[in-house]
């Protein structure tokens, strides 16, 4: 069987030209890497460890005009989970870091906390390598929930390990696996204000949040209780992190903004 070679980045990239229409060719779509995570999954007669991702993430990438490429956090690479990240990122037009379990607290200098759950060190290392390569190439990045936390920690920031200990309520996540509507206020002059307007109501499910802000990041949205709900990294084409889950409501605005600068 003959396979077409993968075109080098400079040859195949196209600038995003608005929502997809029936006559746009597939070659015009930006290639967007979307991270996934290890979990045990069942489908049909099968029950296996798998690379898992809620479909809403990649469907929003596609709806916004991108071609999603799912990126599993491989564990068996001889050179470790981050092997080949730079070469992979060189083929992409944008990167989406999705939600999931907590980061390893050791990565931001915390011994641990009883509420920390779902730590996957291989995933941490895999996504850190992807993020490092993306920032090095000034690739557009959208970081969602855990993705925002990874961005903050990678840039030297820290996290509040269990938000209810600080704010005194569970309004950002009523229980594990549940969502809450949270009102956010954007910071004037930020990219987030341009995308959302002055205020918005978003769907959240996080029990952790930014404590010390990572180097270079600025807060671009907060909730009424002072919790950081969005950050961005000035000086880059597009590096935006949000604590909420736009995919839960089918909100395309952040994905549209990402694709608008991809390519």
The catalytic site residues sit at 145, 245, 247
Q: Which helix (H) or strand (E) holds 221?
A: strand 218-223
Task: Give the length of the chain.
Answer: 263
3-state SS class at 70: strand
Of 166, 220, 175, the residue nearest 198 (C-alpha):
220
3-state SS class at 103: coil
Q: Which residue has the tokens 């999954």?
A: 41
Are 64 and 259 spatial neighbours (Cβ–Cβ below 8 Å)? yes
Are 110 and 152 spatial neighbours (Cβ–Cβ below 8 Å)? no
Are 30 and 262 spatial neighbours (Cβ–Cβ below 8 Å)? yes
- Residue 258 CA to residue 250 CA, distance in Å, equals 15
Of 250, 235, 133, 238, the residue nearest 203 (C-alpha):
250
- Residue 84 CA to residue 87 CA, distance in Å, equals 5
Q: Which residue has the tokens 């990219």?
A: 191
Pairing label, strands 209-210, 199-204: unpaired
Q: 219: burial class by Cβ within 10 Å (0-12, 13-18, 19+)?
A: middle
Of 84, 62, 69, the residue nearest 32 (C-alpha):
69
Pairing label, strands 30-35, 66-71: parallel
């Amino acid at each position: 069987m003959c396979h077409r070679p993968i075109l080098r980045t400079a040859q195949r990239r196209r600038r995003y030209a608005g929502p997809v229409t029936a006559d746009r060719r597939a070659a015009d779509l930006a290639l967007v890497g979307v991270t996934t995570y290890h979990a045990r999954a069942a489908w049909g007669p099968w029950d296996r460890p798998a690379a898992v991702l809620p479909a809403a993430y990649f469907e929003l990438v596609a709806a916004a005009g991108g071609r999603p490429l799912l990126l599993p956090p491989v564990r068996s690479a001889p050179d470790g989970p981050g092997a080949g990240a730079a070469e992979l990122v060189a083929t992409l037009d944008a990167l989406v870091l999705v939600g999931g379990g907590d980061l390893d607290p050791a990565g931001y200098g915390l011994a641990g906390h009883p509420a920390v759950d779902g730590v996957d060190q291989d995933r941490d290392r895999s996504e850190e390598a992807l993020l490092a390569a993306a920032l090095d190439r000034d690739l557009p990045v959208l970081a969602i929930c855990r993705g925002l936390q990874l961005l903050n920690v990678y840039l030297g920031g820290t996290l509040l390990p269990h938000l209810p200990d600080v704010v005194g309520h569970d309004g950002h996540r009523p229980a594990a696996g549940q969502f809450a509507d949270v009102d956010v206020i954007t910071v004037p002059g930020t990219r987030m204000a341009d995308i959302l307007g002055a205020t918005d109501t978003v769907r959240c499910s996080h029990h952790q949040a930014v404590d010390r802000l990572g180097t270079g990041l600025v807060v671009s949205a907060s909730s009424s209780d002072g919790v950081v709900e969005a950050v961005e990294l000035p000086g880059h084409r597009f590096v935006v992190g949000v604590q909420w889950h736009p995919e839960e409501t089918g909100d395309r605005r952040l994905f549209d903004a990402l694709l608008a600068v991809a390519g």
